Chain A
Amino acid sequence: MTVPAAVRHWERSIVCRAGLDRLVRDRVAGVRRHAPLGAALLTALMLHVAVAPHLAVRGAAPEVMLVAVAGVAVSRGPRAGAAFGFAAGFGADLFLATPLGTAALGYTLVGHALGRRSRPSAARMAAALCRPDSPCFACRAGRKHAAGPAVEPVRLRRRAANRRAALRQAVLLAGVAVAAGRIVTAAVAMALAGVPFPDTAGLRRVAIAAIVSAPLGPPAFAAIRRLPAPPSGGRSP
């Protein structure tokens, strides 16, 4: 069969007429758009399975999946945070005894909440964009704002301060994400499957897991921020 004949044959086929080819093309485009996050998910899952159990401190292993969820939520917003949280929770569910979907529900909620929380506020955005030649509304009204206008001499100093602040924030967010994810998942398991809620020893383990996972925050957040962003034009997650 020659190539044009094959094309004609394809165009006459029921698949093409029903518009299924467009569907397939859209799916492929969607898969390509989300491929970087998928790779991040798989990497996190492998670390979760192969490395994390060996770094456990007093029975509390670092929660790689939750740190990754926090990283995606912080860098891409609540929509991507929820979607990645669902997928990551599903991956974590494979290794748990609770019903399939417990961690998926917990991680979805945590990803969404962290994504909403870390969306830049309008005032901060205005402060970041404020320049002496085009002051923001707060400056025009004679008020001071938190960040202060970024003028040339302080910019270098500010950059180091910003880096420190970002580091602190990454550590804090990773810890908060792990603690919140573990507690929300335990609450879901208790409400839906009758699994007893962790007692004081269990909560202590949650706290240790949060502390152990917090140092993973900065490298994980940096790696996720460097992933290629989805091309503009489509619905960005």
Chain B
Amino acid sequence: MKVVHPPLLRLPAWPGPRPAVAVRPPLVAVLAASALTLVLVGRPGGLLAGPLGTARAVARAPFAPVESAGAAAFRPLEAVGSAWSRGGVLAEAKAETARAQEQVSSQAARASALEAENARLTALLHLDGPGAGDGVAARVLSVGGAGPAATLVLDRGSNDGIAAGMPVLAAGGLAGRVVEVGPRQSIVLPVTAATSAVGVRTAAGAAGVAQGRGGLVLRLDLLDPNAPVAGGDPAVTSGLRHSRFPAGLPVGRVAGARGHLVVEPFAPPDRLEVVKVLRWRPEP
């Protein structure tokens, strides 16, 4: 006779595979991760720094007309504002001018003598001014707001022979360097941007680094803290080996007290219209 044992443990029937539920990560995580990836591949020296820079230059170009329209609309207002602030000091300035005029006329005579001497010496040494090299004239399309990391857009690009790394000069002096190039536009990092640093030398021979802070002036860090430096000294690019700029380009005027030295640039980026891009490439 066959004995049938009852099962020791009665298991419930297996309900079958669990129904698939789509697990979606939260949107903010997806977006943050893609932005992070973008930053990492697009930062200077990243995998896609070049193509992303070109894309930015091209995507920014359509906004140039909007920006110039805004500038045109606000020009009368700004003129009124500046006239208002200037009216009070007008009388003071008049007296100042009269005094200055006498000084100027005496100095002009001296300057013309010095200029003639300088021209003779330059010809003698076969030297050219550092900004006299081969260059491309370009118009500034956009000054990109007043933020600490604002950039300029020029209306010339790689089709005109501009390449990343070329220095940009304005009438007064060094304005910045080209960082990204599109076929017909290029983006310039101004010397005042927080990511910009320029090696400079003052007239008295003090060497240092002028670091942009996103404001209107650059902070000057001297290599030798005891080097002689005076307010009002002009600062020019030092152009050491592997420098990003050729030597001798005027940058600005030293101001401030020791410990808080700043360089006031000759070419503030917020009022540039026409610039010259030097066809000069830094040593690799």
Contact = CB atoms under 8 A, between A and B. Distances in A.
A99 B42 contact: yes
A188 B63 contact: no
Interface in B49-75: 49, 52, 55-56, 59-60, 63, 66-67, 69-71, 73-74
Nearest to B59: A94
B31 interface: yes
A193 B39 contact: yes
Interface string B133-175: 0000000001111111111000000000000000000000000
Interface stretch (A4-12, A160-168, A194-202, A219-227): A194-202
Interface stretch (A49-57, A117-125, A128-136, A140-148): A49-57
Contacts of A100: 38-39, 42, 52, 55-56
Contacts of A199: 213
Interface string B204-218: 000000010111100
Contacts of A109: 28, 32
Nearest to A57: B146
A83 B66 contact: no
B46 interface: yes
Contacts of B227: none
B36 interface: yes
A85 B38 CA distance: 15
Q: How big is chain A's contact interface, by range?
A: 35 or more
A188 B31 contact: no
A94 B63 contact: yes
B103 to A, nearest CB: 33
A213 interface: no
A48 B35 contact: no
B11 interface: no
Contact of B70 (A50, A93, A196, A205): A50
B180 to A, nearest CB: 9
B27 interface: yes
Most buried by A among B55, B67, B189: B67
B249 interface: no
B179 interface: yes
Nearest to B190: A97
Contacts of B194: 97, 195-196, 198, 202
Given A49-B67, A109-B32, A97 B151 contact: yes
Nearest to A80: B27
A105 interface: yes
A95 B35 contact: no
Interface residues of B, number: 52
A149 interface: no
A60 B148 CA distance: 9
B44 interface: yes
A45 B195 contact: no
B78 interface: yes
A59 interface: yes
Given A54-B74, A97-B193, A100-B56, A112 B28 contact: yes
Nearest to B78: A54
Contact of B146 (A61, A83, A108, A192): A61
Contacts of A50: 66-67, 69-71, 73
A201 B215 contact: yes
Contacts of A95: 60, 63, 142, 144-145, 147, 150-151
Contacts of B148: 186, 198, 202, 205
Contacts of A60: 146
A34 interface: no
Contacts of A48: 145
A101 B35 contact: yes
A104 interface: yes
Interface string A18-37: 00000000000000000000
Contacts of A101: 34-39, 42
A46 to B, nearest CB: 5
20 contacts: A46-B63, A50-B69, A51-B74, A54-B74, A86-B34, A89-B35, A94-B56, A95-B144, A96-B144, A97-B149, A97-B179, A99-B46, A101-B36, A101-B37, A104-B31, A105-B32, A108-B31, A108-B35, A112-B28, A202-B215
By Cβ-Cβ distance, the 3 closest A-B pairs, closest first, are: A50-B70, A101-B38, A105-B35
Interface of A: 45-46, 48-54, 56, 59-61, 78-79, 82-83, 85-86, 89, 93-102, 104-105, 108-109, 112, 186, 188-189, 192-193, 195-196, 198-199, 201-202, 205, 237
